[in-house]
Amino acid sequence: MGASGRAIASVVRTGPWVGRPHRRSLAAAAAQAAAAAAPRRRALPAPLTVTPTAAERLRGLLDSKPDARGVVVGVRRRGCNGLSYTLNYAEEAPPKGHEKVKLNNGVAVYVDPPALFHVVGTVMDYEETQLSSGFIFTNPNEKGRCGCGESFNT
């Protein structure tokens, strides 16, 4: 019996005492029920993080294309290492299942469902140098990248 003085009688279902009644305290039963009901999920990382520099560049691109609602980020099989990133304008609302990343400047970035496994946790940045400019993806899931930097694998 527990601290409350009451016990719950139940029948043992395994072991040498099968079919015989046993007692456990009400507090132990409540604790076991609470532990079973508690969700055991950890917080999921954001599908994609867009830096302020990349968000401003996306805003400029979308301003030049008024019929676009946002940008769709995806991956495609190509290159010497397997996958490469794709960016396309979303001229209509993407179908259900696309993850939406809403930015502070009003830009909507959608992640293509097949790409979600490969890009979850990725940081998208925009970099402009004297020789080139473009979006840079820093992906924690990357296992390798080709020499030219155009493709990756997870």
- Predicted local confidence at residue 57, as pLDDT: 92
pTM score above 0.75: no
pLDDT in tens, 71-94: 888 888 876 667 878 888 888 877
* Rounded-to-10 torsion of CA 73, 76, 79, 81: 90
Q: What percent of the chain has pLDDT over 70?
A: 62
SS (H, E, C) the chain: CCCCCCEEEEECCCCCCCCCEEEEEHHHHHHHHHHHHCCCCCCCCCCEEECHHHHHHHHHHHHCCCCCCEEEEEEEECCCCCEEEEEEEECCCCCCCCEEEECCCCCEEEECHHHHHHHCCEEEEEEECCCCEEEEEECCCCCEECCCCCCEEC
Query: CA-to-CA distance for 112 and 121, rounded, in angstroms?
Result: 14
Q: Taking 70 as the threshold, does the pLDDT of residue 50 lie above it?
A: yes
Confidence of residue 56 (pLDDT cuts 50, 70, 90): very high
Q: Taking 60 as the threshold, does the pLDDT of residue 19 lie above it?
A: no
- Predicted local confidence at residue 126, as pLDDT: 92
Confidence of residue 16 (pLDDT cuts 50, 70, 90): low
Which tops the pLDDT comparison, 142 or 123?
123
